[in-house]
Structures are given as C-alpha cells and as structure tokens.
Amino acid sequence: MSIPGQLLRLLNLLADGRFHSGTELARLISVSRSAVWKHLRALDELGIELLAVSGKGYRLQRPLQLLDSEHIAGLLAPRARSLISQLEIHPALASTNGYLSALAQQTPATGRVCLAEYQSAGKGRRGRGWVSPFGHNVYLSVLWRYQSGPGALAGLSLALGVAVVRALSRAGISEVGLKWPNDIYWRGRKLAGILIEVSGESSGPCHAVIGLGLNLYLPPAQAEAIDQAWVDLIQIMGEDIMSSRNRLVALLLNEMLPVIADFEHLTLQGFIDEWRKLDCMLGEAVNVYIGEQAFAGMVRGIDEQGMLLLEDPQGKLRAFASGEVSFRST
C-alpha cells in the first residue's frame, strides 16, 4: 500500500495539532477544497482522528510527531549507530517484518532497520493481525544475519523482552512486566509484542527478522478489533508521550540492537535472571494452547533454556518450548 504525496503533505501540515481552514489547506497543498475533503476522509480510514469546527477549520485530535530518520540517528548511542547498515522509514507498508523478510531473499544485507507509520497487514503471533493505525505507535523491524543455525537463537525473544523493558524504563515507564514468550505487559494488559521470524539451514547460517509493535495510542475505532486486554502509553504517561516518539524509537534501538548483535555469544544466560524478575505470569493460573490442545496449570517460571514451566492440577511439572498462553480465573 502507498499513501499519496498530497495526503502526506496534508498530514505534515496538520501534525502541529492546530486548526487549519479548508481554504488554507487547499492552497498549501495545491488542490481544490473538495480534494482536501477527500483527503481528510482518507485520514479517518488510516486511524487518524480529526476534529472539525465551523469557522475554525480542521485539526487533529492530538498532535503527531512523525518519524524522522535524522532525528532518530542523532539520539542513537555509538554502539547502536555502528550496528545499523541502513535505517529506513516508510509512510505505509503491508508489514515491516514482511518487507525485511522479502529483502533478506534479495540481498546479503544485515543490520537493516525498518519503521513504518502505518501497516495495512501488521503481523502478530500465529498469523494474527496487529492493529496498526497511522502515526500513533511504533512498528519496528530489524534484519540480522547469524553464522549459527536457528537453534542458536532459542530464547532471543526473551532477551529482547528484557531489552524493551530497559528502554521503557529509560523513558520513565515503570511497572512493566514480561509474559512468556514475547509480550510486554503493564498491570495485566498488553503494551507491546515481539515477533521473530527465522529462516536458514538448521546448522547455519540463518537470518532473523525481529519485529516490535508498541502501543503509544490506539484510537477507539481501531482498538475494537483487539480481542485481549490492552493498554497504550497515553493511558500510562499522558499525551506528552506522543511528542517523544522519535526519542522512544532511539531508546528501543539502543537497547535492542546490541542484544540482537551479541546474542549468539551471550545466549539467554546473560538475561535469564533479569527476565525472571520481570515475569508477570509467575504463580498465575493459565491455559497453554498447543494447536487444538489446552493444558491448564500454574506458571512456575522458566527453566535455564527459557522453556515455560507449568504445574498441572496433579502437581506434575511440564516444560513448554512454545505455545499460546492465556490467563484464566482460578
């Protein structure tokens, strides 16, 4: 999917959150008033909330800070900057993971970072969609190549969960926890998710596309499609967080990129103690779904390999390498 240049110019004008008349907008982007109206309707379809007031014009419900590669690069730590071969920002993609997965088949690139303002087919786990309205959240993917095979990357999602919590802590966000294997929670509600797609020979080399979706603001109309408890940063921090979007991306890259680059050597052992302190499922009653099968029990943490430990009603401990976990009432 692409977004017309006139629509992007309109967005840049409206990003300040102030009122602009239809006549002013039409003049500045060199279109008719009726074309402005069509563009404004298109913004609504992208998940951008507009306020129209007679005599004053149009403004966004809240200002936007659009992503800017130079702004982000200027905030990167030296190590993170050295690990990026290219940082690209797209107005719209089907998905950032999908874009880099296709790129990985065409070039030997590594260290590619891709961000999008909007995803028309954002990816969640197990084929689910990821709600991706324009300009409100973080949709971020990294392409990295490893000399070892996929087996050497076991536990990478857990390590990256720790990295994301570190970044959020640097942004002043507390009470964040981790839900096995790749979700970031705040007070029992999902704030972010990690999706890692690995391709390559079993004995190596391989490449991984690491995706992160983080909720800064989910408009109510888009949030209706989410079938689990969720939260966004506006609810946690207030609306000022929307003016720190580029800084937040830089904080995430500063923490995530060294973990991605060094994981073959560090392995999960470098992160497991910190992950356990952040475990928001420990002692909780859950169901673990493997295909059509459901296993009920109490979470007893993770083992040294990062497998989920579940105690069944008979007191037997079972380890899961993968699965879908949902909280349940006791």
Binding residues for biotin: 95-97, 119, 190
Q: How far apart are CA 241 and CA 172, in angstroms?
A: 10
Burial class (CB in 10 A: 0-12, 13-18, 19+), 160: buried
- Where is the binding site, in residues? 95-97, 119, 190
Among residues 62, 125, 128, 145, which one is catalytic?
125
Helix (H, G, I), strand (E, B) or coil at 174: coil
What sections of the chain are H helices per DSSP? 5-14, 22-29, 33-45, 69-74, 78-83, 96-106, 156-170, 220-223, 233-237, 245-266, 272-278
Asked if residue 181 has a cis previous peptide bond (ω within 30° of 0), the answer is yes
Active site annotation includes 125: yes
Q: How far apart are CA 102 and CA 12, in angstroms?
A: 30
Q: How far apart are CA 163 and CA 20, in angstroms?
A: 41
Active site annotation includes 316: no
Per the listing, tokens 């909720």 go with 215
Residues noted as catalytic: 125, 190, 328
